[in-house]
Amino acid sequence: MRIGELAARTGVSVRSLRYYEEQGLLASTRSGSGQRHYTDDQTERVGFIQRLYAAGLSSRTILELLPCTDSPSRNNSDAALERMAQERDRLSRHITDLAATRDALDGLISTARAHREQLQEAVTG
Identify the burial level of 88 via C-beta atoms within 10 angstroms of its C-beta, where 0-12 means exposed, 13-18 middle and 19 or more buried. Answer: exposed
* Cα–Cα distance for residue pair 47/12, rounded to 1 Å: 9
Q: For residue 66, is it within any domain? A: no
Reported as a single tens digit per residue, the pLDDT across 42-71 is: 999 999 999 999 988 899 989 988 877 777
Residue-level pLDDT at 78: 79
pTM score: 0.68
Q: For residue 39, is it within any domain? A: yes
Q: For residue 111, is it within any domain? A: yes
Q: Which amino acid is at 97?
A: D
Domain holding 25, by residue range, is: 1-54
Size of the chain, expressed as the number of residues it contains: 125
Q: Which amino acid is at 56?
A: G
* Cα–Cα distance for residue pair 22/88, rounded to 1 Å: 26
